[in-house]
Amino acid sequence: MLELWFKRVVKNMLEKVEEFNMEKVIQEFETLTKDAGRVQRETLKRILEDNASAEYLQNLGLNGRTDPESFKACVPLVTHKELEPYIHRIIDGDTSSILTGKPITTMSLSSGTTQGKPKYLPWNDELFETTMQIYQTSFAYRNREFPIKNGKALSFIYSSKQFKTKGGVAAGTATTNVFRNSRYKREMKALQSQCCSPDEVIFGPDFFQSLYCHLLCGLIFHEEVQLVSSVFAHSIVHAFRTFEQVWEELCTDIKQGVLSSRITVPSIRAVMSKLLKPNPELANLIHAKCVGLSNWYGLIPELFPNAKYVYGIMTGSMEPYLKKMRHYAGELPLLTADYGSSEGWIAANVNPRLAPEFATYAVLPQIGYFEFIPLTQLENNDASSSFLSIDLNPVGLSEVKVGEEYEIVITNPAGLYRYRLGDVVKVMGFHNSTPELKFVRRSSLLLTINIDKNTEADLQLAVEAAGKVLAEEKLEVVDFTSHVDLSKEPGHYVIFWEINGEASEQVLGECCNCLDKSFVDAGYTSSRKVNCIGPLELRLVRRGTFQKILEHYLGLGATVSQYKTPRCVGPTNSTVLQILTDNVVKTYLKFNHLTKFKDSRKKTCPHCVLS
């Protein structure tokens, strides 16, 4: 079976894209997952044989062995840090077989929003193949439940620039490497998910101009749009928040058939001018729909009456955007996309009917070799450090247990061997014999001062709880992040909030209390009691602050498509910290029974207690 699959992959690589056959793809996945353990062994064998001449593997003494036992005995667990010397040689132009048999000529740049700085990761054609494999697999299951026909996708996708490193290696974000592949468009057409915007818009150099034109294209093709999508859900929410600001201008453009002067990139102007014809009827229709909505509820189905669903990664750090997505989507289902990273894909959503909160991802056993470090093994160590412990003993894909949490270890066909991805997942069940994973969180700790340990998921829960208090005033948290302030003794947690209106002092004070109370980790609560950790501080920032942070990351080469708001800003991330600090308008502090606040906008605030 695996051989058949592999032959098909090779055939595809020879540029012959097969007609998409939903039943066949489902059948193949069912067969592969029925014998996931064997498929994993074969996948490892193939990866090790293909790359046997790589210097990295040669030095580890495998001597041609390709079985999991020898692999585990000879090859160490690594993080990105250990691979950096090899990766730098590749970037600097060393074309020998360093990590892979066939030298790497392209690098992916990870978003860098979770760890502060972007990382270079090897990219090759095999990774493009696995991307298409995962897209096809989840599409087949999705289309069985939510069929779409000959439609277009309003996809908020953005490609960053591809550049050459000083050693001549092409580099761009992983999504950019996918979008720029010559086969991408044809493959997406076969999946009836071709983007309704022209390439000039996707590849445009200015994010806002691309977004504006994505919206315009969506409106022009509003009847053909079958789905609204993005890579990560953040881009969808961001797009419709922007729509709320620019909808009248979009209507004017459509009415007059003249593109807004905001669009200055010549290639985008040229292509959009061809698409845009005066259409007062459409402009009036959109106008009437928009004014008829109550607080933009159900905007997506109103604008795109034939859309069947909204699609993008909606789990993990995207969960805080679900509420807003549901608001825009009205009755339309929200379908979470797949699970992967710049390091490689892992698992597909083959249960599309599950709401994102309950979504699981089934591992594709043929796209990489996966190991799982039981979280219990990490518990006594500082999971945020990149220590290399020979005591860690990951289990194989067939050995994981339902209900247990694990950190994922990836071996991929692009030169990563036993690479600790840094994600924690929970095994929820099995699809045949392959595990169905729930994404839990990044493994690194977010907030810690002494014995307290709070993760991204803990912060999210706290913000969700406090967000309910804010909702009493019909307001919502637009975005949030956190910081550990050690500038004064004792250190304390700082939560930055951007909200969508003016809330009363009392409610914000309650939100601050609620945030503090919602961190229930024993290390935190006991440290707070004895004042080893100071009172939590809620800092309210101006509208648009998180947009500035996004722009900062785009300036560093990140792409909106892969953007994730950093949920904790460390002391070394001084630019982002400065953006936040410069935009603070109010500060709330939790003092046991009393919350005190300072209004940075008022010179003489009667309640001000802070210096």
Strands laid side by side in the 344-348 sheet: 339-341, 344-348, 361-363, 434-442, 419-431, 405-411, 369-374, 395-396
Specify the stretch interacting with ligand AMP by CB under 6 A; choose among 150-158, 212-220, 337-345, 388-396. 337-345
Nearer to ligand AMP, 110 or 527 (CB): 110
Task: Count Cβ atoms within 10 A of the Cβ of residue 295 and give its class: 0-12 exposed, 13-18 middle, 19 or more buried.
Answer: exposed
What is the chain's Cα-based Rg?
25
> Closest separation between CB of residue 130 and ligand AMP, Å?
14
Tokens of 606: 């009667």
Q: Are the beta carbons of 424 and 406 closer than 8 angstroms?
A: yes
> Cβ 565 to ligand AMP, closest distance in Å?
12
152 within 8 A of 141, measured Cβ to Cβ: no
Query: Taking the complex as a whole, how short is the minimal distance between the CB of residue 231 and ligand AMP, in angstroms?
Result: 9
Verify binding: residue 439, ligand AMP, rule CB under 6 A. Answer: yes
- Residue numbers 91-130 binding ligand AMP by CB under 6 A: 110-111
Contact window for ligand AMP (CB under 6 A) among 93-101, 178-186, 242-250, 312-320:
312-320
**CA–CA gap between residue 441 and residue 297 (Å, rounded):** 30
Question: Could you say whether residue 260 binds ligand AMP (CB under 6 A)?
Answer: no
Identify which of residues 160 and 583 has a Cβ nearer to ligand AMP in the complex.
160
CB-based contacts of 291: which residues, under 8 Å, 6+ apart?
none
Binding characters for ligand AMP, 525-564, by CB under 6 A (x = yes) = -------------------------------------x--
Contact yes or no for 368/441 (Cβ under 8 A): no
* DSSP β-ladder status, 361-363 and 405-411: unpaired
Alpha helices in 35-79 (DSSP H): 36-50, 55-58, 68-74
Closest contact distance (angstroms) between CB of 97 and ligand AMP is: 25
DSSP percent split of the chain into helix, strand, coil, nearest 5: 40, 20, 40
Q: Closer to ligand AMP at the Cβ: 316 or 365?
A: 316
Q: Among residues 113 and 448, whose Cβ is nearest to ligand AMP?
A: 113
Query: How far is it, in rounded angstroms, from Cα 327 to Cα 583?
Result: 28
CA distance 236 to 376: 36
Residues 37-76 that bind ligand AMP (CB under 6 A): none
* Size (the chain), residues: 611
Q: Which of 77, 178, 421, 569 binds ligand AMP (CB under 6 A)?
A: 421
Binding mask 340-359 for ligand AMP (x = CB under 6 A): xxx-----------------
Identified binder of ligand AMP from the candidate list 315, 444, 583, 587, rule CB under 6 A: 315
Q: Is 460 in the site for ligand AMP (CB under 6 A)?
A: no
- How far is Cα 90 from Cα 215, in angstroms, rounded to an integer? 40
Q: Is 335 helix (H, G, I), strand (E, B) or coil?
A: strand
Question: Pick from 172, 316, 344, 566: which binds ligand AMP (CB under 6 A)?
Answer: 316
Q: Could you say which residues in the range 490-519 bind ligand AMP, by CB under 6 A?
A: none
Identified binder of ligand AMP from the candidate list 42, 253, 302, 423, rule CB under 6 A: 423
* Residue ranges binding ligand AMP (CB under 6 A): 110-111, 174, 313, 315-316, 339-342, 421, 423, 439, 442, 562
